[in-house]
Amino acid sequence: MQESLREEPAADFVALGGTVLALDPAGRRVRALAATGGRITALGSEREISGLIGPETTVLDLAERTVIPGFVESHNHPAFFGMTLAAPVDAGSPPNDTIADIAGRVAQAAKELGPGEWIRGFRYDDTLLADGRHPTRADLDPVSGRNPVVLTHVSGHFCTANSLALREVGITAETPDPPGGLIVRDARGEPTGVLVETAAFLVTSRLPGQSAGELAEALLLADEEYLANGVTSVHDTGIGLIGGAAELEAYALLRRAGKLRVRVRGYLFHDLLPGLAEGTPEAPDTGGADDKFAMTGVKIVADGSIQGKTGCLAEGYTCDPDEHGMMLLEPAELGRRIAALDAAGWQVAVHGNGDAAIDAIIDGYSRLGSPTGTGRRHRIEHCQTVREDQLDRMAAHDVLASFFVKHVYYWGDRHRDVFLGPERARRISPLVSARSRGIHFGLHSDTPVTPVPPLEGIWCAVRRVTRQGKVLGPEQAVDVDAALRGYTIDAAYLAGEENLKGSLEIGKLADLAVLSGDPTTIDPDRIRELTVEATVSGGEVVWRRETAGVTR
């Protein structure tokens, strides 16, 4: 039977002729839906919904494809992502196997750019290079000519610079390590070019080519990639982390021009919030929020990355037992900032990879008052090595999580064999343990750290297969329905938007992803082979393949 909000002579948008997975509490499956004014108005059979087609109705013929709610990506960095798409040097692996390969790409960029122009590269991963180390200025200086060079690590927690770039920003042997960071030095005390955590900001925050207009162009590049992968909403967890206050202006430019197509929920990088360092942060200003952009919370970075050995662990790294990583904020200061933000009315999202950092984050949240928290839905980002006892505490204080589930595939082998050892590695992103405690969580790709496709993330959550084809912690694998919800309705919950998006129900936004097949019925190993055929935002087809039939 057709479910309808009201009787209407015709709908603005209709999708029919396939499977519609509502992902509502009842788990409904229907054949068609209709929308008017950007909201879903009816779900039902093809015959029922066909009656709502008028001469001005946009009709999407599903051709037996599958419709799900548009993906909600709960932890990404759109400006950073767009910058990587536009960068002159792809330093990733693949395509690079050695530092010499990366140096060759830098040399080519130096030939194409004028003297003095900055060369930017992204995605290098020291653990995938045959050299087994970070590139240094000694590698970059001979090939970069008169161009300053900065290469950013795939994790975003490191960068490496040539001598000219170091000189441009004033980093010398006398420059002290900033709090929460490290300038790597050689035996003579000279900087090698490798900059760790907050030390990387000494360079990246002062790069040219990061005006609001240029960052807006980067955001548009990211916007297109999100839509091509069925993502209709993104949590930008760290606005200003790369481009400073200009990132806010970039969003403002796109909103004024009506060019922002993906819905963005922003989490301002904590260093940009006036008054926070003094304990009196400005309160949220929700006056300018709309369904395309809203500043939802504040992002704090508590520690680094496991693969960089800067994630703060209670027990040492397997490959280096005396190394426990680092806290970028002392636990007491972290707790003070959490309390001040909560008192001012902000939702807080804290990056925590190592279990020692996660302890400090939970300590901060647990001191806010009642055992069940304040209702602001405070979050832990990545939450990679969270222990069972910590999950108990998270459940007791209503702390949410956004799990970086793609770590299982992209770094699972190295976590098992190098960084964490078998027992700790098998428990990264413990989705079953979190779910058994009723903890709300979303799943994410942390793009540009790993590729966007949510279908790959869903496959990771269901299969937990590493790059070497080994299953890592099968007891933490969830079913397809739970994984889908981690990228839709449960991710929407993290930003307090579960009544607006994340499932296909009457009155909710008509945000849809059209898939080539039904992820709930195919072999789970084939989920990541599915493709997105069309993306719909507010009842408008905003991206489609040529094979997706749309008529009007």
Average pLDDT over residues 17-23: 98
Q: What is the mean pLDDT of the chain?
A: 95
**Residues 516, 533: Cα–Cα separation, whole Å:** 6
Which pLDDT score is estimated for 550? Answer: 67
Which pLDDT score is estimated for 125? Answer: 94
pLDDT band per the 50, 70, 90 thresholds, residue 438: very high
Which segment of 178-182, 282-286, 287-291, 484-488 scores lowest on mean pLDDT? 287-291
Average pLDDT over residues 188-207: 92
How does pLDDT run across 274-293, given as a tens digit for each residue? 999 999 999 998 888 899 99
User: In this model, does residue 429 exceed pLDDT 90?
Assistant: yes
How does pLDDT run across 325-364, given as a tens digit for each residue? 999 999 999 999 999 999 999 999 999 999 999 999 999 9
Cβ–Cβ < 8 Å for 47, 1 = no
Average pLDDT over residues 442-462: 97
Phi and psi angles of residue 450, each rounded to the nearest 5 degrees, phi first = -130, 165
Which pLDDT score is estimated for 201? Answer: 87
Candidates 137, 134, 117; CA nearest to 126 is: 134
**Residues 21, 493: Cα–Cα separation, whole Å:** 18
User: In this model, does residue 273 exceed pLDDT 90?
Assistant: yes
pLDDT band per the 50, 70, 90 thresholds, residue 8: low
How does pLDDT run across 379-405, given as a tens digit for each residue? 999 999 999 999 999 999 999 999 999
Average pLDDT over residues 176-180: 94
Which pLDDT score is estimated for 205? Answer: 79
**Residues 358, 346: Cα–Cα separation, whole Å:** 20
Average pLDDT over residues 98-114: 96
- Domains of the chain plus CATH, in order, are 3-69+505-551 (2.30.40.10), 80-204 (3.10.310.70)
pLDDT band per the 50, 70, 90 thresholds, residue 549: low
**Residue at 434: amino acid letter:** A
What are the tokens at 461?
């959550």
**Residues 219, 266: Cα–Cα separation, whole Å:** 13
For residue 202, the tally of other CB atoms under 10 A from its CB is 20
User: In this model, does residue 51 exceed pLDDT 70?
Assistant: yes
User: In this model, does residue 7 exceed pLDDT 80?
Assistant: no
Helix axis angle for 355-366 and 388-396, nearest 10°, is: 20
**Residues 188, 466: Cα–Cα separation, whole Å:** 40
What are the tokens at 97?
């196997």
**Residues 153, 124: Cα–Cα separation, whole Å:** 5
Helix axis angle for 246-257 and 212-228, nearest 10°, is: 60
Per DSSP, 374 falls in state: -
* Residue scoring higher pLDDT (524 or 289): 524
How does pLDDT run across 148-157, given as a tens digit for each residue? 999 999 988 9
Which pLDDT score is estimated for 390? Answer: 98
User: In this model, does residue 496 exceed pLDDT 80?
Assistant: yes
Which pLDDT score is estimated for 314? Answer: 98
Cβ–Cβ < 8 Å for 233, 511 = yes
- List residues bridging with 125 in a β-sheet: none
Candidates 401, 393, 348, 402; CA nearest to 375 is: 348
User: In this model, does residue 4 exceed pLDDT 70?
Assistant: no
**Residues 435, 452: Cα–Cα separation, whole Å:** 24
Which pLDDT score is estimated for 323? Answer: 97
> Using only C-alpha atoms, what is the Rg of the chain?
23
Residue 191: alpha-carbon gap to chain centroid:
31
Residues 6+ apart with CB under 8 A from 415: 306, 307, 407, 424, 425, 428, 472
**Residues 291, 260: Cα–Cα separation, whole Å:** 11
Measured CA to CA in angstroms, residue 14 lies from 18, 238, 263, 538, 539 at distances of 12, 36, 21, 12, 8
How many Cα neighbours within 13 Å face the side chain of 541? 23
Helix axis angle for 331-344 and 355-366, nearest 10°, is: 40
**Residues 50, 12: Cα–Cα separation, whole Å:** 12
pLDDT band per the 50, 70, 90 thresholds, residue 546: confident
The rounded percent of the chain whose pLDDT value lies above 70 is 96
* Residue scoring higher pLDDT (371 or 61): 61
Which pLDDT score is estimated for 102? Answer: 98
Strands (E), 355-460: 379-382, 400-403, 441-443
Average pLDDT over residues 423-437: 98
